[in-house]
Amino acid sequence: MTVSELDIHRAANVVLKQRGASAAQYASLRADRLLEKGDVEGASVWRRLVIAIDKLSEEPAAGAPVN
């Protein structure tokens, strides 16, 4: 099953809203646990989420003034 970049972006936003500053750490832990269980595909999706969360965390909030 292929997960689109749009779906990854949407999921990353959800995890960020639920977990706040610990979102990337949470996603990384989920990926590790899935890999331990042999779910390589699931772990890969969660690793993509970690990357997306990191990118979203660096972006200024919508409507925030940019200097």
Q: Indicate the pLDDT class of residue 65, thresholds 50, 70 and 90.
A: low
What six digits make up the tokens of 19? 């977990």
Which one-letter DSSP state was computed for residue 60? P
Q: How many residues does the chain have?
A: 67
Hey, where are the domains in the chain?
A: 5-56
For 1-48, the pLDDT digits (tens) are 789 999 999 999 999 999 999 999 999 999 999 999 999 999 999 999
